[in-house]
Structure formats: C-alpha cells, structure tokens
Amino acid sequence: AQTVTQSQPEMSVQEAETVTLSCTYDTSESNYYLFWYKQPPSRQMILVIRQEAYKQQNATENRFSVNFQKAAKSFSLKISDSQLGDTAMYFCALSTGANNLFFGTGTRLTVIP
Amino acid sequence: DGGITQSPKYLFRKEGQNVTLSCEQNLNHDAMYWYRQDPGQGLRLIYYSQIVNDFQKGDIAEGYSVSREKKESFPLTVTSAQKNPTAFYLCASSIIVLWGQSTDTQYFGPGTRLTVL
C-alpha cells in the first residue's frame, strides 16, 4: 500500500522569506514519481514541481525546489522569496503507475505581508 | 487555449436525483480521472479511464458512474445511491508513456462544487 503523510496542517511565512513544507511517503515500488500541487482559494490544483524517483538530482522550478531523500522516503518542498500569491493549500502526491495518484492531507500555507 | 474544463462550477442536487458533471480536455491526453475532495482531506480517486470505451473503478466508485465515448470527454454521474455526495469534484488528465505501465503528470480542471439540498 502507498501512503503519503504531511504532518504540518498549517504554516505561515513572512513575505520574501523561505519556508519548507514536509512530506514523507511509503511505497514498496522501486519506480515512482513524487509531486507537489498547489491549491489556491480558487481550488484548482496546480502542479508546482515533480520528481522522478530514479533521479538523484533534486528538482527545481524557479523559487520552488525539493529535497528528495529516497532512503528516508522524504520529499520536502522549499519555497524561496515567498510571495503573497503563494498562499494556498499544498499537497504532496505519490504515483506508482498510470492509474493512481496518492495524496497527503495537505498543508495550508499563509504568506504574511 | 489548451486545458481541461469542468462544468458547472456549482451544482445543487435534491435528494434522489442523479446529476452529471462534465469534464472536457483538448490536450490530446489518453487518460482521464475523477477525484473527490472533502474538507481536510486530500483527493480520492473515483474512476479513471485510459482509453475510449474503457474505464476502471477507483477507491470510492460506489454511487458513481462514468462513460468515455470520446477521448476528449469523461462525464461523471452522481447517482441517488451515493449517500453523501456533497463535495468538491476534480477531473484530471494525463498522457500515458507506456500502456498501463507508466504515468505522467496529471493536470487538473477547475472543479465542480456539488451540494445536496
């Protein structure tokens, strides 16, 4: 069975500061993908960043980067230079095949002006 | 513009009624998915389809039905058998790199909020 755990229900950060959201997962599969999705108040799920498990290099997308620790099954998201538009729910998700995407329960991030 | 559209944005259902949620994509994606989101929870998979005229149950398929007559369209019907249908419903699509064996990023529509009166 696959599980995704986000242990921080809520977090806040000052504008322009850096924040890290935590995610741990469990799977017995050797090939899998990890994702961070953002859900702003509009409620549309927006892809933030993706990581293939076989790649050792951490993924980066502009101000967003991940710290992928495969042995520890940890996949944290770092947001640098936080902006007001980053305020949203952030979901960590795991995919082990074409038919599934397992989500964590989310972390609500508030960027404070 | 390429993307996924869902309609309506808000939907109200009376007890005992069936309602259908629309999902259309023009991304030429093979696979389409329906998820349900409840407050304080992540998304749970209802149904998915990898090819026209074929679909599979997800984790919470009871009380729901789907069809896939066209590659672009994957409507979801919430039947009267669904005991607690009030939720936010999200449709997604993705390509399939290798048939049934791989995956690619799922992209989501804007969602439909269903409320039972």
Residue-wise pLDDT for A9-52, tens only, equals 999 999 999 999 999 999 988 888 999 999 998 888 999 999 98
Could A99 and B56 be called an inter-chain contact, meaning their C-beta atoms sit closer than 8 Å? yes
Q: What is the pLDDT of residue A90?
A: 97
Tell me the average confidence (pLDDT) per consecutive run of 10 residues in chain B, 117 residues long: 88 90 95 91 90 92 96 96 91 76 78 92
Quote the CA–CA distance of A88 and A109 in Å, as a whole number: 6
Q: What is the pLDDT of residue B80?
A: 87
Q: What's the average model confidence in pLDDT over A89-105? A: 87
Q: How many CB pairs under 8 A join A and B?
A: 59
| B78/chain A closest Cα distance in angstroms | 20
The tens digit of pLDDT for each residue in A55-91 reads 888 999 999 999 999 999 999 999 999 999 999 999 9
Q: Please, what's the b/e burial string for B11-23 (b: 16 or more CB within 10 A of its CB; e: otherwise)?
A: bebeeeeebebeb
| A103/chain B closest Cα distance in angstroms | 5
Quote the CA–CA distance of A6 and A10 in Å, as a whole number: 10
Q: What is the pLDDT of residue B16?
A: 85
Q: Which of residues 83-102 of A touch B (CB under 8 A)?
A: 91, 93, 95, 97-101
Q: What is the pLDDT of residue B23?
A: 98
B43: contact with A, CB 8 A cutoff: yes
Map residue B82 onto helix, strand or coil: coil
Q: What is the pLDDT of residue B98?
A: 63
Q: What is the DSSP string of chain A?
A: --EEE---SEEEEETT--EEE--EEE-S-SS-EEEEEEE-TT---EEEEEEETT--SPPEETTEEEEEETTTTEEEEEE-S--GGG-EEEEEEEESSTT--EE---EEEEEE-
Q: Which of A35, A97, A105 sits opposite B105 (nearest CB)?
A: A35
Nearest to A36 by CA among A83, A75, A81: A75
| A10/chain B closest Cα distance in angstroms | 11
